Amino acid sequence: GPVEAAKDEL
Amino acid sequence: MNIFRVSADILHLLSILVLLLKIHATKSCAGISLKTQELYLAVFVTRYLDLFWNFHSLYNSVFKVVYIATSSMIIWYMKRHRGVKQTYDKDHDTFRYLFLIVPCAVLALIVNGRFSLFEILWTFSIYLEAVAILPQLVLLQRTKNVDNLTGNYVFLLGLYRAFYILNWIYRYATEPHYSAWIVWLSGLVQTGLYLDFFYYYLQAWKQSKKLQLPS
């Protein structure tokens, strides 16, 4: 998705 | 987790600590934009709302708490500390932050991963972080003479963003389904805003002179 993958970043 | 990501987070923390240390040691916040600090606190609070129910890792949780606490402390110093608040450059720090908050909120309502309250707040925080440095850059431009610690603060912040880009490239190359273009585009904009500052910072550093921005 456009954001999901980055949810583990700060 | 890769070396770029860890370096980025540490640089981010360092930038905040440099600023806190400057304020604490010199009892002065001259040259620091309260607007930018308040925007950063808004970024952290809207992004880390999930702190209480979405446990990802101890690493993430500790950083989230530290970011919220340290930026609150900076704001407290600038607004409440008897000596420090008198050094605040109120007359030059006049950037209207609604000009940043409103467009980011509208954009988050339109372009997001999922239409839900927390998702939209999270996306808003991504957009807002990209532009939150603007009041600080405008203030530096207006006051022109930048003291070393303020210069280092902005430089470390820019470096933190640059390392996040390296982290994304690394993850894109090594993780099969890694894609987050909203975050990438915002991150590119954010890092781009520092390029001009970087140029003058490195020039001053090379000539070991005090950082001066052109008008």
B176-185 pLDDT, tens digit each: 889 999 999 9
Task: Provide the sign of the torsion angle of the four alpha carbons B206, B12, B157, B34, taken in this order.
Answer: negative
Give A7→chain B minimum CA distance, Å. 9
Percent of chain A with pLDDT over 70: 100
> A10 vs B9: CB contact, 8 Å cut-off?
yes
For the stretch B105-133, pLDDT in tens is 999 999 999 999 999 999 999 999 999 99
Query: How many residue pairs bridge chain A and chain B with CB atoms within 8 Å of each other?
Result: 45
Give B181→chain A minimum CA distance, Å. 5
The answer to whether B65 and B127 are in contact (CB under 8 A) is no
DSSP B23: H
The pLDDT value given to residue B210 = 86
The pLDDT value given to residue B124 = 98
The pLDDT value given to residue A5 = 86
Residues 6+ apart with CB under 8 A from B43: B125, B128, B129, B132
To test the contact with chain A by mutation, choose from B7, B181, B185, B186 the residue with the greatest count of A C-beta atoms within 10 A, namely B181
CB-based contact, B62 to chain A, within 8 Å? no
Percent of chain A with pLDDT over 90: 40
- Supply the ipTM of this predicted assembly: 0.93
Residues of chain B with pLDDT under 50: none
Greater confidence (A2 vs B14) lies with: B14
Question: Residue B132's closest CA among B214, B23, B8, B42?
Answer: B42
